[in-house]
Amino acid sequence: MKKGLISSLFVLSATTIASANVYAEDSNRYGLSEGNEELLLSGLKNLKSHELDSALSDLKALTERRPDFRLAQLVYADILAAQAQGSPLSVRGSDHRNKIDGLISEAKARLLMDMEKPSSNMLPADMMKLSPSQKHVIVVDTRLSRLFLFENQNGVPVLVEDFYASYGRGGTGKVKQGDLKTPLGVYFITNRLEDEKLPSRYGSGALPINYPNVWDQRLGKTGNGIWLHGSPVETYSRPPKASEGCISLTNPDFIKLDSQIDYLNTPVLVGHNIRWIEKQDWVAQSQRFEQLIERWASDWESQNHQRYIANYSQAYADGKRNFSQFSTYKKRVNGAKEYIKIGVNDLSVYRYPDNPDLVVATFKQDYQSSNLSGSSVKRQYWTFESGRWKIAYEGLPSKGNP
């Protein structure tokens, strides 16, 4: 295809922004999302099957519906140009190669999700146990450029929504400030920022997450300002790798997500390749890890120091004490009690998606002993070593967490 035709595509995208804004105001400030991806996928599939008239019909409807959907504009204009020239579709040699490559990557990501979408009987293995207070859990799979929203139905997660999402230009596995990467792990939303208080590049709002959490800090990771947010107001969606490390949805999708969740009690699991298992296996796994925490509490109540301390890793560190110091301290304190009773409530357990040997558990701990009682929220990081799970960190949640 000639360079001029591709160039005109981006001129077309720019000049339709004003009409996109008028359209958005007709429904809500950021327009519609329902049905857009279905039209796009139908058009792409028809294109793959060489049913160009059907593809044109789908994409024409989509570009009229969302003039700011740049991927739809690209494919639609490409088909029209190819038909006019009688040549196969191509964007080689374009002056806008990087932009076009990003849009092509978006098309591939959306098609990949359409091919790999899990059945209703499958669940992410890393959502190990949901607490009763957590009504929703967010799981992000960067390989699929997808955000999955699960609802807690009597302790079992049920997929209720999934949205296309973009992530960091530098890829995944954030290590340091400025690497433009999206962190992988288990995080918690700490705040809600409304669009009126944000620069336009964040779109319809933002939900900051607690990167770097205590485990990130333990590993020496730096950086901050990792948010789940909307898209720049001048475009509908972005290529898969487009942000400075944040997770970005379309503006209407962000609004829909934000309206459904309790932002102060919704975990966010981010992985590059989420593993799915059958629901019956998930239930069995959930029970095993609940028993793991119950055993730890029972060992503490026994006041047998060897039983209790065997639950902790030799690499334990909580910012105040290493394993040896912690062991000495607990032996002295627990040994001075006539009795100890531990209650574990509101337990949640999540595994790091790209590190299956790391699990984070959070719960309300009710402590009673012969001379002290009280309640607090405790967070533990468990690592798998020498054939069993052991605690490598325990303490309060990261600052700003629920």
Which residue numbers are catalytic? 229, 246
Enumerate long-range contacts of 59-65, CB under 8 Å, 24 or more apart. Answer: 62/36, 65/23, 65/32, 65/35, 65/36, 65/39
Hey, what are 357's tokens? Answer: 């040997």
Distance from the Cα of residue 275 to its chain's centroid = 14
3-state SS class at 162: strand
Closest to 275 in 3D by CA, of 105, 116, 50? 116
Q: What is the per-residue burial (b if ≥16 Cβ within 10 Å, else e) of 263-285?
A: bebbbbbbbbebebbeeeebeeb
Helices H / strands E in the chain, number of each:
11, 20
- Residue 303: count other Cβ atoms within 10 Å of its Cβ: 16
113: closest CA among 240, 281, 260? Answer: 240
H helix or E strand, kind and range, residue 167: strand 167-168
The answer for residues whose C-beta is within 8 angstroms of residue 11's C-beta and 6 or more apart is none
Q: Which residue has the tokens 């990081």?
A: 381
